[in-house]
Amino acid sequence: MKRMFYYMERDFRRWIRGRVNVVSTLILPAAWLIFVGLALPIRFTDNYLDFIAPGILVLTMLGASLQGGGLLMFDKILGYLPKFLAMPAPRESILFGKILFITLRGLIQTTVILVIAILLGAHFLDPVLLLAIYTVLFVFGLLLSSLMTTVALKLEDHDSYSAINAMVSMPLFFTSSALMPYEEMPGWLAALARLNPVSYAIDAIRDLQAGVFPAVTLLGLLVGAVLILLVSVAVFRRATV
Amino acid sequence: MDLAIDREIFGLLGPNGSGKTTTVKMLTTLLAPTEGDATICGYSVTKNPLAVREQISYVPQDMAVDPKLTGRENVVFFAKVYGVPHPREAADEALAMLDLAPRADDLVRTYSGGMRRRLELAQALVHDPEVLFLDEPTIGLDVAGRRRIWEHIIALKNRGMTVFVTTHYMDEADRACDRVGIIDRGRVVATDTPAALKATVCRDIISIQTDGTFPGELPEGVTPLGRTGDELRFEADKGEEAGLALSGALTKAGMTVRSISVRQPTLDDVFLALVGEPEEAEGFDARRFRRMLRRRG
């Protein structure tokens, strides 16, 4: 178990020395927050920023996870992964290390977005609320980073990974409850949005904002995360290169 | 394929696409064999892969060291993942053994190809494996770099390690390996010491530049091969000795010997005799080629 921290430490060192991508992943969510959150003329609420901020937090985590899956793809292409797989350390510690790194990095990035949102006037300052939001985002990150890391393990090259990435990211975001409440959506979109795991995470945060404990959505996310983790561990144990 | 390898340097030679890397991947538990089995230090690669991984280190072809980390960080990371008791000390020792200590705290980005290779060896040695698998350890290195890698490999064998190496540099295998196996289309066509393999192909060839015709008796064990212009060619078991004897005999017969050259068969000859000059065994793998280009860039 200790070994997943060594794998995570390696990725953190590499990330911090990368410099450019430390900032680049923050641009898109910050742009959403400012150009959409502040500018869009919306009738269903008078504080659209408060409404859209949970969606942007989850979007940040989504982007971090999708981009994070690519890390394993690079480990594979560049020849690190075969070495790791030939080592006696349990292979799932490679997976857990990646999940931890991607999720923690995602939380660091969401923190920056959270600070920007608060500076812009969103209401998030309650410490208990913040802690609960981080928990939701952590579970969501677990689910998606585990999924994407395993997808990367199974895919042949980086081109196919970026293709999957592009195919998944925007549709997941737009078919979620990020931009408008279910009541404002056309029926077909609402049906899609209620199935989307991204909506689960967003709805959980909105419930928390409203002072409700989101038992059902959080449980749904947890069950999903555990299922995907189990499958991922099995796939990693049998990995060949 | 049926081999037993113990505390020696074993070289697996073969043309591109003959199954060298696949063999190594099966032995390092990265691929499951479709049939058959292998045991490493008494553990089966199919039934007990975890125990096998405890005993081995694997250095693949593609120089995979983290350029954004320092040499020391690269090795300490491996030591920790291997679960070595004192990772920092073990890393220092491995770095010193491969003469990397002075540059240990520089980023690997600034290392030369030869240094990166040695760093990979340091990573592989940090947990003191019983068996070391090296896939093309000298590919892409300059002459000095190659020699240095082989010196390290031989030093490891002398410390009691078993080294399994694949290469297609025949001269290097000839000099360093205790035994070599030649593989072609997934089958081992020969295994022996380089000297014994060379002896099976042909004997030494002696060429002598001279004039006139030779009337006398040839020394024992020398067979004439033919004549091209002024050049006489002979075949013998020990070319250098036979060459001297021949030149003596020719001079005694009143001929002028202008030059003698002895050519001993190399592993190249063995290789070509056994494998032939095959057309590309498999289709050109465009993806692999692109990946290679990307790595160079």
Whose tokens are 């393990």? That residue is: A153
**Domain check: are B22 and B77 in the same one?**
yes
**Domain check: are B16 and B82 in the same one?**
yes
Distance CA A175, CA A177 (A): 7
Distance CA A217, CA A143 (A): 14
Considering only residues 253 to 282 of chain B, which have any Cβ-Cβ distance to chain A shorter than 8 Å? none
Nearest CA of chain B to the CA of A154: how many Å?
Answer: 14
Mean pLDDT across A117-121: 87
**Domain check: are B244 and B142 in the same one?**
no
pLDDT band at residue A203 using 50, 70 and 90 as cut-offs: very high
> What domain range is B64 assigned to?
9-197
Instruction: Choose among A156, A81, A147, A72: nearest CA to B30.
Output: A81
Asked if B25 has any chain A CB less than 8 Å from its own CB, the reply is yes
Asked if A6 has any chain B CB less than 8 Å from its own CB, the reply is yes
Mean pLDDT across A118-134: 87
Q: Please give the ipTM for the structure prediction.
A: 0.86
Is B279 a residue whose pLDDT tops 60?
Answer: no
Mean pLDDT across A122-148: 91
Q: What is the pLDDT of residues B160-175, one digit of tens each?
A: 999 999 988 888 899 8
Cα distance from N-terminal residue to C-terminal residue, chain A: 23
pLDDT of residue B215: 66
Q: Which of B53, B62, B77 sits opposite A86 (nearest CB)?
A: B53
Distance CA B139, CA B136 (A): 6
**Domain check: are B180 and B63 in the same one?**
yes
Nearest CA of chain B to the CA of A230: how many Å?
Answer: 20
Q: Which of B30, B63, B68 sits opposite A86 (nearest CB)?
A: B30
Q: What's the CATH number where B123 sits?
A: 3.40.50.300
Mean pLDDT across B196-210: 82
Distance CA A214, CA A136 (A): 10
**Among the three residues B169, B197, B225, which one is the final residue of a domain in this structure?**
B197
Exposed e or buried b for every residue in B25-61, given b needs 16+ CB within 10 A? bbbbbbbeeeeeebebeebebeeebebbbbbbbbbbb
pLDDT band at residue B214 using 50, 70 and 90 as cut-offs: low
**Domain check: are B188 and B247 in the same one?**
no
Residue % of chain B over a pLDDT of 90:
40
**Domain check: are B105 and B182 in the same one?**
yes
Query: Strand order in B56-59's β-sheet?
Result: B56-59, B131-135, B162-167, B9-13, B179-184, B187-192
Smallest CA–CA distance from A156 into chain B, residue: B287
Nearest CA of chain B to the CA of A229: how many Å?
Answer: 21
Is the CB of A79 less than 8 angstroms away from the CB of B60? Answer: yes
pLDDT band at residue B282 using 50, 70 and 90 as cut-offs: low
pLDDT band at residue B69 using 50, 70 and 90 as cut-offs: very high
Q: What is the pLDDT of residues B113-142, one digit of tens each?
A: 899 999 999 999 999 899 999 999 988 888
Mean pLDDT across A31-39: 84
**Domain extent listing, chain A:** 2-237
